[in-house]
Amino acid sequence: MTDKFYIKGGTPLKGEVKIGGAKNSVLKLMAAALLAKGKTKIHNVPDLTDVEIMLNVIAELGAKTSYDKSEKSVTIDATDITDITAKYELVSKMRASFIVLGALVSRCKEAIVALPGGCAIGERRVDFHIRGLEALGAKIKIENGYVHAKANRLAGTDIYLDIPSVGATENLMLAAVLAEGSTRIQNAAQEPEIVDLANFLNSMGADINGAGTSEIVINGVKQSDLHPIEYTTIPDRIEAGTFMTAIIATRGKGIIRNVFPAHLTFFTDKLLKMGANIKLIEPNSLEVSCKNRLNSINFITQPYPGFPTDLQSMAMTLLTTANGVGIITESLYENRFMQVPELRRMGADIHQDRNHAIIKGVKKLTGTTLAASDLRAGASLVVAALMAEGNSVIENLHHIDRGYENFETKLRLLGGRIERKDDTLPANLTEDTHNESYL
């Protein structure tokens, strides 16, 4: 795609925005739907390229799929699974599709799944997935870029994860649902998306306890115990955090609707310490505002319930114009500071030393042409452009489209001056991105 965002900064965002369904949850629920024969319907599904990719992966396995974008619902009829291969052409585009490995091994006792792709934010190995499946009784071969897993039977066991990997926890939960006996996953991921997956599976007839804690117990059930369901996905906490950041960055005031505040406790606490105003006005609505220059803070990204790595780049954008010096330590991914060179081009004062970033606040950022390197870095550049003085162009929107539904439309509803246009400059525009006739 050659689309670009054209943004004129400096306008405070004001109004209301409604958060969509959680990308990082719905993709896993779609894979989990493969476990039950019949039609499962999932509501609150965002219109994202990642959702389209997962639908294609599932359809190629033989399930019948449909996506009602007006209703924001997906229907998956997994009565028949006719293929056990998830091909490279699709899996390489989106890492989350690797989750079909656990579902296929669970239901079909065999799976051939390409090694995953996704954003280039650092090494995200699948060792924990493989070792866990082997502990459950699967025989694994990795050759020609594919994981081939086969099991005559899966038997429950104790599995300890060296790190609380979200993907490994999800894959092993799916694999253990139909295993004989009980499986205990220790040092499991505790993210809200894990809880959503467990709730989904339990509604389907699975027996899972402890999701949201470091120890999850899955008591195996029979295939005949599982049935199709209707289920509504949780709101996207990362999208909510992104819009909170955008409102604060532009010194605006807005209401975030359809959010689970408890999912953002740590992030919200950091924003409050920086000087933002955040109030709970309804059980699922937050009022967010900021009048004055923010203060710098230090933080370390950590697995949930710590500071989310997916919001690190957004927080860095805030720190670029805050009072004082802030230090960010990225403990999860080695390449998650890919927004740093672009922020520097806007005038940010950032020193990077491996997984540490030292940000000295400047008075303002100035607009320029920027390139999104991955999903969350791209979103942070949009926020930076909205708060900057002057005009910006943001390229490589395909990264942003993976995780934000109608991003520019929602920002415009808040008063943001942002347009999506193709690669041809509008007639009233010169190559100078500081032209006042920009938008």
Question: Exactly one of 55, 119, 311, 340 is catalytic; which is it?
Answer: 119
Length of the chain: 439
**What is the greatest pairwise CA distance in the chain?**
68
Concerning whether 108 is annotated as a catalytic residue, the answer is no
SS (H, E, C) the chain: CCCEEEEECCCCCEEEEECCECHHHHHHHHHHHHHCCCEEEEECCCCCHHHHHHHHHHHHCCCEEEEECCCCEEEEECCCCCCCEECHHHHCCCHHHHHHHHHHHHHHCEEEEECCCCCCCCCCCCHHHHHHHHHCCCEEEEECCEEEEECCCCECCEEECCCCCHHHHHHHHHHHCCCECEEEEECCCCCHHHHHHHHHHHHHCCEEECECECEEEEECCCHHHCCCCEEECCECHHHHHHHHHHHHHCCCEEEEECCCHHHHHHHHHHHHHHCCEEEEEECCEEEEECCCCCECCCEEECCCCCECHHHHHHHHHHHCCCECEEEEECCCCCCCCCCHHHHHHCCCEEEEECCEEEEECCCCCECCEEECCCHHHHHHHHHHHHHCECEEEEECHHHHHCCCCCHHHHHHHCCCEEEEECCCCCCCCCCCCCCCCCC
Q: Which of 163, 99, 164, 90 is nearest to 133 (CA)?
A: 99
Whole-angstrom Cα distance, residue 291 to residue 252? 7
C-beta separation of 214 from 186 below 8 A: yes
Query: Cα separation of 259 and 264, whole Å?
Result: 9
Dihedral sign of CA atoms 87, 90, 92, 95 in order:
negative
C-alpha 88: how far from its chain's center? 21
Rounded distance, CA 252 to CA 228, Å? 44
Catalytic (active-site) positions: 119
